[in-house]
Every structure is written in C-alpha cells, then in structure tokens.
C-alpha cells in the first residue's frame, strides 16, 4: 500500500506544520482531541525506555488533529468479540496436521517475548522477526510481526503507551499514511483483523470462484498476563467519548508455508477480484495473497479492515492496480488539502 502514497511524502511529513494557528484566535472545538492515560502508571514504568521521570510529569497525554476519526477508536476494539475470539485453552493442531501444541505453551512464549521487548532487546529467544518496520525501538511502541521458532504460528503484537499513542508520525511512512487517510492510529488496526476476516468469509462463502480455491489462516486474540489498559478520552464539537484499550495485545495465526517462487501476476489478478467482490474490505497489495505449499490453495494473509484504514465509507471504483493506486492517492490528497470544514467534522465524528 505504501507505493500509492510516495508522491505525497512531503505533504504528510509536514502534517503538523499545516495545523498552526494564531494564538489570538479562539479555540476551534470542532478539531478532534484525544487524551490518553494509563490505568496503571506504576506498571507502565517497568518498560526500560520509559523509566525517565520526565515522561511521567504529565499523567495525561493529548493529541489534537484534524485527521483523527472516532470510528477506528470506538469500533476498532470490541471487548466482547475480543473475549470470544481469544486464544482457546487446550491444544491447537498445526495447519498441516503434523502435530499439535498446548496454547499454554504459546502463551508462555508470547509473554516472554513481551518481557524481552520491555528491556529493549531486538533479537528474541523464541521468535524470528518477519516485520518490524512499523516498530520504534527507541520508544518501544508499534507493531512487530514474528514467527514462533518451534511452532508454525505467527504473532502480530501491538504495543502503545500513553505518550506514544499520541505520536502517530513516530513509526513508519505506512503508519503516517494510515493516520492521514483514515484518522486511524496503528495500534487500532490490529484489532480489526479477526472481525474483518469473519465478514470476508461471510461475503465469499457462496462465491463459486473462491469456494474451493481460497482459504485463510486461523486467528486468535491474545494479551500478556501482566498488562494495563489505555484510557482514551475523545472530545470534539462539545461531545465526549471514553474508551479503554489494551496497551499490549496480539493476534496469533497459522504460519503459511509457501514455495519461494510465486505466480505473482496471477495472484495480483486474484487479489483485485477478491478486493472488488468484498467491497475493498481487504488490501490487495502484492504479497498479501500467496499459494500454500502442499494444498496449492490461494491464502489471504492480511485481513485488516482496509476501508477503515483508508478512511473509506464505501467501496472503491478501481478495477486494476494502477487505478487503485491513483484512487488512493487522490483520496489522500483530497483529505489533506481539499476537504471543507463541514466534511471534516462529519468524517471525524462518523461512527
């Protein structure tokens, strides 16, 4: 998805500078504000990158931005759904049916991963990093994707602290784009993976084209044994919402074995078809679809809610990759430079 927005790098990198206001002008109450605090400030200090006293002079941390939207914050996390899809107790069979593992072991290893991250490690005992470009090792916040070394499962772990939650431009260019396009903080998008997977399955279950050829990894939510919540207070246009989100959580899913050589052109066509058939609930970028070794099935790996990430209220018109990139870039430019104040207010408060 990143390639679609490279042309707007300068605009996004200067995002804060365009929000300057004369100090004599009255406060605009129509600009969204979030205030973030920890439900357990003492435990929060156990993170090695956060043990400097000046970080705790303020109990609450505040972000005011025209890009903020209420929908990703309020709809991203559903406690009841999170509990329903939580990592089950007992044993989980491997996807290829060659063995099984106790979820207690997976949870134990995941807890050890969090503890290693807490003390600033960048290489981990029981995990191989698959992706960490969205993680800031200085502030110990963002998203890390890693594979269990001894088990065929992948963990996507999201970490935020009160003061990093309000720093949407501190991780990667992709997270910058997510914030500008959809008002979405990266910590929130990981919540959507399982709920959106359920929606996609429901839409495609009777589609004969995908009935026997498309499959998905199993996915579960997880959070550490020792964890606190982030209290997020939203204020805009004289309305206030209060929400609580886990400061650390993860999705655990099947690891998909693939051959090194993948028919990328064919997969790109399938990706665009799936995207169109689901109303662009998924991101059809190259690499999101792979051919599974042994079954030859097409597997959709990443099931984040693309429309929520991109700030889309409806499907897109694109039918090919080039048109998809152009349409996304156009939406980014419009949101950044062309929206009226009324449009901005409607978008930021839409549920």
pLDDT tens readout for residues 262-297: 888 889 889 999 999 999 999 888 789 999 998 999
Residue 244 lies in a domain: yes
pLDDT tens readout for residues 3-35: 444 444 434 444 444 455 555 555 566 788 989
Residue 23 lies in a domain: no
Residue 184 vs residue 266, higher pLDDT: 266
Mean pLDDT within 220-247: 90
Residue 22 lies in a domain: no
Mean pLDDT within 100-111: 97
Count of domains in the chain? 1
Residue 242 lies in a domain: yes
Residue 313 vs residue 111, higher pLDDT: 111
Mean pLDDT within 327-346: 75
Residue 328 lies in a domain: yes
* Structural domain for 183, as ranges: 2-16+28-349
Residue 88 lies in a domain: yes
Mean pLDDT within 140-149: 94
Q: Contact, 12 vs 336, CB < 8 A?
A: yes
Least confident window among 64-78, 241-255, 273-287: 64-78
> pTM for this structure?
0.85
- pLDDT of 67 > 60? The answer is yes
Mean pLDDT within 52-72: 74
Mean pLDDT within 129-134: 93
Checking phi first, is residue 231 left (phi over 0); if not, alpha (psi -120 to 50) or beta? beta
Least confident window among 173-177, 211-215, 256-260, 293-297: 173-177
CA proximity to 312, closest of 289, 288, 282: 282
pLDDT over 70 for what percent of the chain? 87
- pLDDT of 314 > 70? The answer is yes
What is the model's pLDDT at position 23?
Answer: 56
Residue 295 lies in a domain: yes
Residue 203 lies in a domain: yes
What is the model's pLDDT at position 254?
Answer: 96
H-state helical runs in the chain: 9-13, 41-44, 70-76, 79-84, 103-118, 162-165, 173-182, 186-189, 192-204, 264-277, 306-309, 321-333, 341-349
């Amino acid at each position: 998805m990143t390639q679609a927005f490279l042309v707007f790098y300068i605009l996004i990198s200067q995002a804060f500078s365009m929000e300057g206001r004369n100090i004599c002008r009255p406060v605009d109450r129509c600009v969204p504000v979030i205030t973030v605090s920890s439900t357990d400030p003492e435990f929060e200090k156990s993170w090695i990158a956060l043990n400097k006293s000046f970080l705790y002079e303020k109990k609450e941390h505040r972000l005011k931005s025209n890009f903020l939207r209420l929908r990703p914050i309020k709809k991203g996390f559903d406690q009841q759904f999170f509990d329903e899809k939580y990592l089950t107790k007992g044993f989980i069979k491997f996807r290829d049916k060659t063995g099984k593992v106790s979820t207690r072991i997976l949870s134990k290893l995941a807890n050890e991963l969090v503890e290693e991250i807490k003390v600033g490690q960048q290489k981990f005992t029981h995990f191989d990093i698959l992706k960490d470009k969205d993680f800031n090792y200085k502030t110990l916040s963002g998203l890390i994707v890693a594979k269990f070394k001894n088990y065929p499962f992948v963990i996507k772990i999201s970490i935020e602290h009160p003061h990093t939650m309000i720093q949407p431009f501190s991780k990667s260019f992709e997270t910058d784009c997510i914030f500008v396009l959809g008002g979405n903080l990266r910590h929130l998008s990981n919540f959507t993976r399982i709920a959106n997977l359920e929606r996609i399955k429901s839409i495609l279950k009777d589609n004969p084209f995908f009935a026997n050829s498309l499959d998905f990894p199993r996915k579960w939510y997880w959070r550490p044994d020792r964890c606190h919540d982030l209290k997020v207070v939203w204020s805009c246009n004289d309305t206030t919402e209060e929400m609580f989100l886990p400061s650390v959580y993860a999705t655990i899913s099947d690891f998909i074995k693939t051959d090194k050589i993948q028919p990328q052109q064919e997969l790109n066509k399938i990706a665009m078809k799936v995207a169109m058939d689901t109303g662009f609930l998924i991101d059809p970028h190259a690499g999101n679809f792979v051919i599974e070794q042994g079954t030859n099935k097409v597997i959709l790996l990443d099931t984040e809610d693309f429309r929520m990430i991109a700030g889309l209220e409806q499907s897109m018109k694109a039918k090919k990759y080039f048109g998809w990139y152009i349409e996304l870039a156009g939406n980014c430019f419009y949101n950044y430079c062309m929206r009226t104040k009324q449009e901005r207010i409607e978008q930021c408060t839409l549920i």
